Amino acid sequence: NSLVPRDLLGVYRRQLRGDSAGIEKSHGGKSGPVDAMLESLRTETKGLRRTKRPETAKMFLTWKNALKCRAILDARGVNASDPRKPPKFRLPGLEAIRHWMGRARPRRVGGGRCRVFLAKLDLQNAYWSIRLPPAWRSVFVVGGRSGRRFRYARLPFGWAYSPVICQKLVSSVIRGALSRRGVRGWVYLDDILLSCRSKSRLRGAVRDCIRRLRRAGFIVGAKSEPEPTERLGFIGKQIDTKAGTISNAVGALVGAFRAWVRGVGRGRLPSKVMERLLGKLCWLSRPNAGLGAFLAGAYRGLQSGKGVFGRGVCKGVATVLLFSCVPQRCDPPGPGGRGAWEVFVDAAPEGKVFRLGIVGGGDYYRLEVCPPWVDSLQQAELYALYIVIKVASYRGFERIRVGSDSNVARSQINALRASVHADSQQRILRRLFWLRCWSTVSVESFRVPSLLNAADPLSRETGFQSRKQAIAEAARRREMWERAVDTKYMGLMEMIRPPWRFKGEVGD
């Protein structure tokens, strides 16, 4: 496989030749379940085979659900024997699915939206369906308390290279099945989502995918939904193309709410419980809509080791839980830049505070002083973007284009994300979240060079003899920007559209 270095097998063998005698012979838990699982995997699935080779790894069991358990290979020693990392690969994110849903449901001429149908394929034991080459079957050897040893003949769950191998193999099969069919597909390891506006075309693509997957040795599980539908579950979320929403499952919400009530009642949570709760909340809040700013305080407390479930943490977690119960709307992207209000922002220090300059179309010039808790230029640049969105919302603009010379502030405001230790940035993002919940303005940002930024003179007004002179310099720079066709709208990015709104949506 091209994903695995050619000399990796030799590296593993040399390492295991010296460390096989030191493998810890403890398998966790009672010997009966582990031995029974090993024998079951050997006889029923043919994935394990008996061997006399020395043991190189351990195996333990984890609960998959109330009735089933999963065998996990503890291959930390094997993985650590080579410093190289597996090739990076990108799994389809919920943000990409949200962006696609917004574009896949255009409005018809007579009203309403085009219908989009979905289908899902679930691969049963996807790793176990991939056979290891004969030379690799002596690398992963496990044993039980009974003294019997078994070698892996299938791709083990626990090896560092297993996810990328599975993802690439399944993706190549699906890509071949969907070529020239006009059907969109997403592969998330053993979960496959297919979409098309035509039911017949989607059915044909599903049949071809199933045929190719079975020919490749994969097992299509009973959880699959091959019949076209407008609502189904995918990677823990409910996707509804008819309503254009992505929602959470009730069971995941109940578990997070139970942990929140426990924290409120006791006033603190153990570190492991807090870590699991924050992990659940991060998943429940996806696709990303800016709710991460309400969990920054909880993450700071977790990293400090205090585990205190105080008032601020309680309110932040409750806010994320509340919005996670409401389905996220996947609105289409805003209209193009024609007719948008073009505005420039900049910030500059002035004594102990920071001054903001805002220059917009229609001879709009504004000076603003940052509050005292903004104590750095980077925070001031982010605060300037928040102020201009607030001004556009109050003035009733439907879409704006904001030019700034700070790439860091643009990245933070477009992704609605900042470091958990950046308290002021998180405060600004929380304000922006509430502003966007009742505002319908569509925001795009672009990078403008400092020498062409019309807001720079206003932010440095003290360097001019009068405000009138600063405004004249701002107007001159704006004219230079209009003539600079080659450098206009560099790095144009659209801000995430709010999935929840407390106000009537435009066009609905």
**Mean pLDDT (the chain, rounded):** 83
Domain 94-126+163-237 class in CATH = alpha beta
Indicate the pLDDT class of residue 231, thresholds 50, 70 and 90: very high
φ, ψ at 362 (rounded to 5°): 80, 30
- pLDDT at residue 507, as a whole number: 38
- pLDDT at residue 144, as a whole number: 73
- Which pTM value belongs to this model? 0.80
- Which CATH number does 8-87+131-159 carry? 3.10.10.10
Does the pLDDT at position 338 exceed 70? no
Which tokens belong to 13? 């063998």
Domains 8-87+131-159 and 94-126+163-237 alike in fold? no
Torsion sign over Cα 56, 57, 58, 61: negative
pLDDT digits (tens, 9 = 90+) for 448-468: 888 888 888 888 887 787 888
Which tokens belong to 42? 């050997």
Does the pLDDT at position 380 exceed 60? yes
Q: Give me the residue spans of the domains in the chain.
A: 8-87+131-159, 94-126+163-237, 248-329, 341-494
pLDDT digits (tens, 9 = 90+) for 33-89: 777 777 777 777 778 888 888 878 787 777 777 677 777 888 888 888 888 888 888
Q: Which of 57-61, 150-154, 253-257 has the lowest average pLDDT? A: 57-61
Q: Pairing between strand 69-74 and 184-188?
A: unpaired
- pLDDT at residue 335, as a whole number: 53
Q: Which residues contact 323 (CB under 8 A, 6 or more apart)?
A: 285, 289, 291, 500
- pLDDT at residue 337, as a whole number: 46
Answer for the pair 245, 327: CB distance below 8 angstroms, yes or no.
yes
Answer for the pair 508, 460: CB distance below 8 angstroms, yes or no.
no
Answer for the pair 162, 156: CB distance below 8 angstroms, yes or no.
yes
Fold of 341-494: Nucleotidyltransferase; domain 5 (3.30.420)
- pLDDT at residue 493, as a whole number: 82
- Would you list the DSSP string of 236-282? TEEEETTTTEEEE-HHHHHHHHHHHHHHHHHSB--HHHHHHHHHHHH
Sheet arrangement for strand 245-248: 231-234, 237-240, 245-248, 328-329
Indicate the pLDDT class of residue 488, thresholds 50, 70 and 90: low
